[in-house]
Chain A
Amino acid sequence: MSNSVNISVETTCENQIREIAYDGTELYQPPPTLSESLAKCAARIDFSKTSLDDLKKEEKSAAAAEDKEDKDNQFQESLWPWDAVRNKLKDAYTEICVLSDVISIAKDKRYLVLDPLLEDGDDTKAIVQVYSRKKALSQAAQVLLGGAERLRTAHSEQRSRNVSDFHIELLRLRQNWRLKKVSNGAIIGDLSYRTAGSKFGMSGTFEVTKAEDTLDEEGGAGTSATASAASSASSSNNGMQLKASSALRVIVPAELQGVAYIKVITQKDQEDLCTAQVNLMGHGPNITAQVGVWQKTLEFAQNVLFCKELFAQLAREAIQLQAPIPHVVIGNQIRATLLPNIQLIISLCHSTSFDSSQPAPINDHDHVLEHSLHQLLREVHYKNSHHPFPHPASAPLGPSKKRMLAGPTAADREALLDMTKTQTILEQIIAQAQHIFMRKRTQYVLDTLARDVKDPQIVSHWNAMNSPTMSCVKINIVTHGYDAIGRTSLVIHVKERSLKCICRDGRVMRLSYEPQELRDLILCQINSHQISCLVSLARCMAWTVLSNSNHLGIGKVEPLGNASSCLLASPNSDRMIAVQIRCDPQIDVKVYIARSPRQDFFPSPLVPEKFWENLGGNFKEVRFDKIEGKSFLNKMEFLMASLTSNTA
């Protein structure tokens, strides 16, 4: 209390404004007269709020009050403000009169006896209170105990009967699915992807009801498998023979029932190259065990919806896209041409009844394509709902960061048009399928070449890290035993419809999807590898390289390279070796040797002197396959060694 602050309240010095005239002059109320203020103060007195002691005092001064009352009566008509006071006093007077009557009767002690009040009157009250509280509490406890007992019996009954509770099921359903209660008491759920950014028009609403007769349901599902397809709520329409113990039913619209998947087939002529089936089943943690059978039903329905959306999107794009070979959409099938003679077929398979005789899913389906299709649609969803926030915050909402930079960086019309272009799902999936195909083709070409060409060896390293439309392979060409002398390496980037080869010398070559081009390139690389290794080897053996050429320009002239040759001279220049390697259609090595001057010179009229022999002699072909040695370089080494030793 010591902290309390004294606040003085004062009336304002000004008088109250009675009215404000239109010209703004204010008319004040005249200040109250003394009698007026007295009347006002007296009206505030609350006569009923006085203590007993005060009452006694009042009794003594009753006479005085009476006097005052007389005065009041006089004022009654003229002065209304005193009216309230008068009424109160009159009431008080009546009370006092009654009291005095009672006291006078009590004095006689014939009709009324006054007893002193018990001092412990309050104590008895407390005991009564305690008792009443005790009683109320025990009643409340009774109610609670009764309720608990009922709950316990219900619970034990439920456990013994093993019947799941509708509300518990509903709670679980609510944890995983979007539900709302509509006006007529029904519960409607939504399994569409709309909240995740989908703009697919098909509704994904389902209805939740209480299963009335669990036993009948069970019997029905058990006896007639065909009928179960029609009954939407039963879990068996998805081939799940789960015991129908659920107290909750979900009713899925007819168009979302059944099983759906998207099948992707890459076809060459009529032969399937690879297939992929897309559905959402088997993804994510399986929570069916913890929750009811409806979980499976809803998951299947959601999968149907997803597949339908994906297919609708693809079909729309297929029609809109201006491809050189137009895409064909017939019924539930989209056909797109990847490369000549190779087609991509995407089809939507939707069966409303589960058929156990359905062929088992093909095991070698393409997981990559399957995953990509998923991912692409999810990405579309994501982009629909996630727009980048502008920075600074005052910038308009909507344009991408790149677009915002277009002004300051003075982007031209071309660049702006580029920004508006986005790849559709179909384009992306075609690109990915093309890439997969190109990669397989490249692998095949490299593997067959590595198998067929033993000398030199072709080693290819595929990069483990790659993007859906780009992968990379490094090729090393080495000769066994001569690794130190030379190694030719090149990198091939496998793209969607083309290959890009980067050679060690920095040459970059772009190849089309035709496998023959890659084959030719590798063969040419083998050629140049052999020649360059031979040149190094010759240097090691002190032979002189007179000339070498990687492009002789003979044979079928290829842009990538063709026959290559090399001319070597022995250390003392009396022998020469000429090597020619052709690569079309196969690697073909021709080796010639010449000797000048010949050891045995016989002057003839045409060549009278020996020095003419220094001009060079006739080349004679060596039967190269007969030469000892494992590989080309090995054989050449032997050949050079033998020719060198001859001259020594």
Chain B
Amino acid sequence: MAISSARESLSLALNNRFLPNLEYLLQGSILDTAVEHLMHRLKGLCDNVDTSPERFHDLEVCMSLRQPTSPQPLLLRVRRALGQDAPFQMRYLGQPEVDMRRPTLVRSCMDCACTNGILDFLTEMGFRLEFEYIAKGYMFRKGRMKITVSKLIKIVPGKQQDMANEPISQSYIVELSVVAPTGQENVGEEMRVFAEQLKPLVQLEKIDYKRLGNLP
């Protein structure tokens, strides 16, 4: 299969539904005091946690571009692992779709690894900084499910690396997500069963951002 240009390969991918992927997401939160219990339970449930759970420490920057045609700005999230030599990850997330029939929130997503010039590039394109935060916590894996338990940390502008940045709240955000190609419906069920097992500790739900946005 010869692919002549990048544009052609993109359209091919879109036609064959390689792209965009769908992200199935459940979210919840747990207080700092109870997070130990959750960690123990996750250690029991997840794959190979014979070693200590994987930690992560990422800086996420959300960039927005005003579009002349639509009132909604285009949002792109760029994430970078602090203290690790890994490529930046740029992420586009589509409108979340809260379907009553589905057990999870579903949104289209595109991931792309980038070099560290991506932020400058986006700024040059006209993107503006929307918000940024640091996520720090633990990652688990169960089959194709990814479970992150992370603390969101507010950033004092210009002091990304500073230890003085304060956590946003006294709780951890717990996310259960699967990124899968279109047309895999049993993912949601699998996730629901897993979320059920964390039940008394953390209530993983599909959270509708549109409603949250209306809150004062």
Contacts and interface: CB of A to CB of B under 8 A. Distances in A.
Interface of A: 385-387, 389, 391-398, 401, 404-408
Given A392-B56, A393-B81, 20 more contacts: A385-B48, A391-B58, A391-B86, A392-B58, A392-B88, A393-B56, A393-B58, A393-B139, A393-B146, A394-B91, A394-B111, A395-B79, A396-B179, A401-B86, A404-B86, A404-B113, A406-B113, A407-B113, A408-B87, A408-B115
B75 to A, nearest CB: 14
A397 B113 contact: no
A297 to B, nearest CB: 27
B141 interface: yes
Nearest to B114: A408
A392 B80 contact: yes
11 contacts: A385-B48, A389-B139, A392-B56, A392-B80, A394-B111, A395-B113, A397-B179, A401-B86, A404-B87, A404-B113, A408-B114
A395 B148 contact: no
B84 to A, nearest CB: 5
A181 B118 CA distance: 56
B141 A393 contact: no
Given A385-B47, A397-B141, A408-B87, A391 B114 contact: no
A386 B48 contact: yes
Contacts of B179: 396-397
Nearest to B140: A389
Nearest to B113: A407
Contacts of A395: 79, 86, 89, 111, 113
Nearest to A413: B3
B48 A393 contact: no
B113 A394 contact: no
B56 A391 contact: yes
A393 B139 CA distance: 7
A394 B58 contact: yes
A392 B60 CA distance: 9
A394 to B, nearest CB: 5
Contacts of A393: 56, 58, 79, 81, 135, 139, 146, 148, 150
A100 B112 CA distance: 95
B89 A394 contact: yes
Q: For chain A, what secondary structure do more than half of its interface residues adopt (helix, strand, loop), or is it mixed?
A: loop
Of B58, B80, B112, B113, the most chain A CB neighbours within 10 A belong to B113
Contacts of B48: 385-386
Contacts, number: 67
A392 B89 contact: yes
Contact of A407 (B84, B112, B150): B112
B80 to A, nearest CB: 6
Identify the 4 closest CB pairs spanning chains A and B, nearest first.
A392-B58, A391-B81, A392-B79, A389-B54
Nearest to B179: A396
B60 A394 contact: yes
B141 A389 contact: yes
A391 B21 CA distance: 19
B66 interface: no
Contacts of A394: 58, 60, 77, 79, 89, 91, 111
Contacts of B89: 392, 394-395
Of A394, A395, A401, the most chain B CB neighbours within 10 A belong to A394
Given A389-B139, A393-B56, A394-B91, A407 B114 contact: yes
A386 B88 CA distance: 23
A342 B111 CA distance: 50
Contacts of B86: 391-392, 395, 401, 404
Contacts of B135: 393
A611 to B, nearest CB: 79
Nearest to A410: B115
Contacts of A386: 48
Contacts of B113: 395, 404-408
Contact of A405 (B60, B84, B87, B139): B87
Contacts of A398: 144
Interface in B60-113: 60, 77, 79-81, 84, 86-89, 91, 111-113
B42 to A, nearest CB: 14
Contacts of B141: 387, 389, 397
A196 to B, nearest CB: 9
A386 B87 CA distance: 21
B84 A391 contact: yes
Contacts of B77: 394
Interface in B27-56: 47-48, 54, 56
Contacts of A385: 47-48
Contacts of B87: 404-405, 407-408
A326 B61 CA distance: 55
A392 B144 contact: no
A397 B177 CA distance: 10
A128 B156 CA distance: 74
A393 B179 CA distance: 13
Nearest to B144: A397
Nearest to B178: A397
Nearest to A196: B48
A391 B91 CA distance: 13
Contacts of A406: 113
Contacts of A387: 141
Nearest to A388: B54
Contacts of B80: 392
Contacts of A408: 87-88, 113-115
Nearest to A382: B48
Contacts of A389: 54, 56, 139, 141
A217 B135 CA distance: 64
A645 B135 CA distance: 89
Nearest to B80: A392
Interface in B113-140: 113-115, 135, 139
Interface in B9-24: 21
A389 to B, nearest CB: 4
B191 to A, nearest CB: 14
A386 B141 CA distance: 10
Contacts of A397: 141, 144, 146, 179
A519 B79 CA distance: 59
A183 to B, nearest CB: 21
A109 to B, nearest CB: 69
A407 B150 CA distance: 27
Contacts of B79: 392-395
Contacts of B112: 407
Contacts of B81: 391-393
Contacts of B146: 393, 397
Nearest to B143: A397
B195 to A, nearest CB: 17
A401 B114 CA distance: 13
A353 B62 CA distance: 68
Contacts of B144: 397-398
Of A386, A404, A408, the most chain B CB neighbours within 10 A belong to A408
A99 to B, nearest CB: 56
A550 B5 CA distance: 56
A396 B146 CA distance: 9
Nearest to B84: A391
